Amino acid sequence: MKKKVVSVYRFEDDVLNRLEEEVDVTLFNKEDINENPEFTAALQEAHGIIGYGLEINDSLLDKAPNAEIFSNVSVGYNNLNIDALTKRNIMATNTPGVLDETVADTMFGLLIATARRMPELDHYVKSHQWTGDLTSDFYGTDVHHKTIGIIGLGRIGEAIANRAHHGFHMNVLYHNRSRNEEAEKKFNATYKELDDLLKESDFVVLMTPLTASTEGVLGAREFSLMKESAIFINGSRGKTIVEKDLIQALQQKEIKAAGLDVFEQEPVQKDNPLLDMPNVVTLPHIGSATYATEHAMSELACENLLAGLRGEKPSCLINEAVWKD
C-alpha cells in the first residue's frame, strides 16, 4: 500500500505525476487549510508532508502522529520548528543550491534598479511627464567600482559577490559567522566586522537566514552607521531587520534608498510607509521565481520526500540527529 502524503504546494503536472507513482497525495492550497477538517483528517494519516511557507510547529505535528518527513520547498526553513521535528524523530529537508544563481540575479537586479531609480523613472515616462531634458534631480547612483558589503556570504552571497567583482569591478566586503578564505581569493573580498562593513559600504546587501541570532540584526543603530548615500538591499527575510527603524532611517535621510524583496508582514500591508517612498523599490518576495528554478526546487523537494519515505537518507536533510544508519 502506498504511503500517504499531504501537499500544501502548487506542483507542475510532471512533478505531481512523479510523486503519485510512489505515494498517495492529497493536495491543499495554503489558503484553505485553516480550521479545515479535511486537512486535519489528512494529517492524521500522513506519512509525509510537503509544502512552502507552511508553519510546522507542535500544534500541527500533534495532528500528524504518523509523520516521518517534512519536505520544505525552499532553502530557508524559519517556518520549521526543528526541535519539535527532531523530538518526534521526523526528518526535515529543504532545497539548497538550485536557486542560488536565480536569487543572485534578482538581488543584483534590485540593486541596479534601486541605484538607477528605474521603477521611479519608468513611471515618470509612462505617466507622460517626460517633456524635455532632465535635470540632475533625476540622476541615479553608479554601481560599478563602488563598494558592496554583503552580510551573509553563503552560496547566494557568493553568487552576488561574483557578479559584483567580475561584472561591475566592485570592492567586495563581507561579514559572516566565519571567514571565507576561498571567497576572499576568488572575489578579492575583505572580511569586516559588521559595524565597519556598514560604515564603509556604498551598498549593503543582507542575505542571512532568519534565526534567533539574526532576527532584527539591523535596527536603528546599524542604519545610523551607514553612509547617507548608502543603499540597502534585503533579500533575506523581513524579520532580519527592524522594519520601523528602516522606515525611520529613510524618512530622516540617514540612508539614500532601499530595495526590498521581503517584508516583516507578507503580503505587505497597504498602509506600510515603504509603499509610498519613491526611493524604495519593492518586490513581492520573488527572488527565486522563475519557471526553471521553481521547477527544480519542486523536483528536489519531491526527491527528498520520496527518499525519506523509502527509508533512505534525503540528500538535503536538515536535522541530521534523526538519521540512524
Q: How far apart are CA 88 and CA 284, in angstroms?
A: 34
pLDDT beyond 90 at 34: no
Residue 217 and residue 154 share a domain: yes
The answer to whether 172 touches 190, Cβ cutoff 8 Å, is yes
285 has catalytic annotation: yes
Give me the CATH number covering residue 273: 3.40.50.720
Per-residue CA distances from 97 to 72, 94, 101, 138, 154 (Å): 14, 10, 8, 39, 10
Residue 130 and residue 255 share a domain: yes
- Say whether pTM exceeds 0.75: yes
How does residue 33 score in pLDDT terms, banded at 50, 70 and 90? confident
Q: How far apart are CA 97 and CA 305, in angstroms?
A: 17
What single letter denotes the amino acid at residue 274? L
Parent domain of 19: 3-98+291-322
Catalytic residue among 237, 243, 254, 264, which? 237
Catalytic residue among 184, 285, 295, 299, which? 285
Catalytic residue among 38, 55, 181, 266, which? 266
Question: Can you tell me which residue has the cell 527592524?
Answer: 242
Residue 229 and residue 261 share a domain: yes
How does residue 325 score in pLDDT terms, banded at 50, 70 and 90? low
Residue 297 and residue 178 share a domain: no
Residue 248 and residue 159 share a domain: yes
pLDDT beyond 90 at 32: no
Based on its alpha-carbon atoms, the radius of gyration of the chain, rounded to whole angstroms, reads 22
Nearest Cα residue to 140 out of 111, 108, 116, 109: 116
Q: Please state the domain count of the chain.
A: 2
Buried b vs exposed e over 70-83: b needs ≥16 C-beta within 10 Å?
bbbbbbbbbbbbbe
237 has catalytic annotation: yes
Residue 147 and residue 270 share a domain: yes
Nearest Cα residue to 197 out of 155, 148, 161, 245: 148
Residue 124 and residue 235 share a domain: yes
Residue 213 and residue 129 share a domain: yes
Instruction: Give the model's pLDDT for residue 35.
Output: 83
Residue 114 and residue 28 share a domain: no
Residue 136 DSSP symbol: G
Residue 117 and residue 83 share a domain: no
Mean pLDDT across the chain, nearest whole number? 95
Cβ neighbours for 246, distance < 8 A, ≥ 6 positions apart: 218, 223, 232, 258, 274
Residue 7 and residue 123 share a domain: no
Instruction: Give the model's pLDDT for residue 255.
Output: 98
Residue 93 and residue 83 share a domain: yes
* CA pseudo-torsion sign 96, 101, 102, 106: positive
Who has greater pLDDT, 105 or 134? 105
CA 155 to chain centre: 12
